[in-house]
Amino acid sequence: TKNMTVKPRCQVCNENPHKYKCPQCYKLYCSVNCYKKHKAEDSCSHFKHDERPKTMESPPKSEIYEETEQISKEVLERLKDSEKLKNLLSNPHLRRLLTEIDQTPNNSKMINDLMQEPIFVEFADSCLDTI
């Protein structure tokens, strides 16, 4: 029998397994709707990423990326074979957005902002579904 790791639940709706982490406060959420609800109701929506109070420093990377969140090279290889991802990447707007993310120093804020962009959300969801 395989040792199955149970994925933590969304900390907004408490119904579904989480797919994302807020780049500002690291709260776990499962969907765009939960992301919007979190931003509307929780305290991290009251300041921008670069304006966080000093008492809310980012946790060390070792605390952010748990052992269960490491993705093997074999699993990542699935991304290149995904027809859905290939189709999405044929969209010039999405490719421009991904290039901007790659060239932006504070890309976590940009990714956070792009969670309002439907094509980006579809791309992120497809990546997660593939892996």
Strands (E), the chain: 20-21, 28-29
Q: Which residue has the higher pLDDT, 105 or 115?
A: 115
Out of 42-56, 63-77, 99-113, the most confident range is: 99-113
pTM to 2 decimals? Answer: 0.48
* Domain around 17: 7-46
Q: Which residue has the higher pLDDT, 55 or 13?
A: 13
Closest CA to 8 of 36, 33, 35, 27: 27
Same-domain status, 40 and 88: no
- Euclidean distance between CA atoms 82 and 94, whole angstroms: 16
Closest CA to 66 of 28, 32, 38, 11: 28
Q: Is 22 in contact with 11 (CB distance < 8 Å)?
A: no
Evaluate whether residue 19 is within a structural domain. yes
Residue 96 above 60 pLDDT?
yes
Same-domain status, 81 and 32: no
Confidence of residue 24 (pLDDT cuts 50, 70, 90): confident
Q: Is 50 in contact with 44 (CB distance < 8 Å)?
A: no
How many structural domains comprise the chain?
2
Evaluate whether residue 79 is within a structural domain. yes
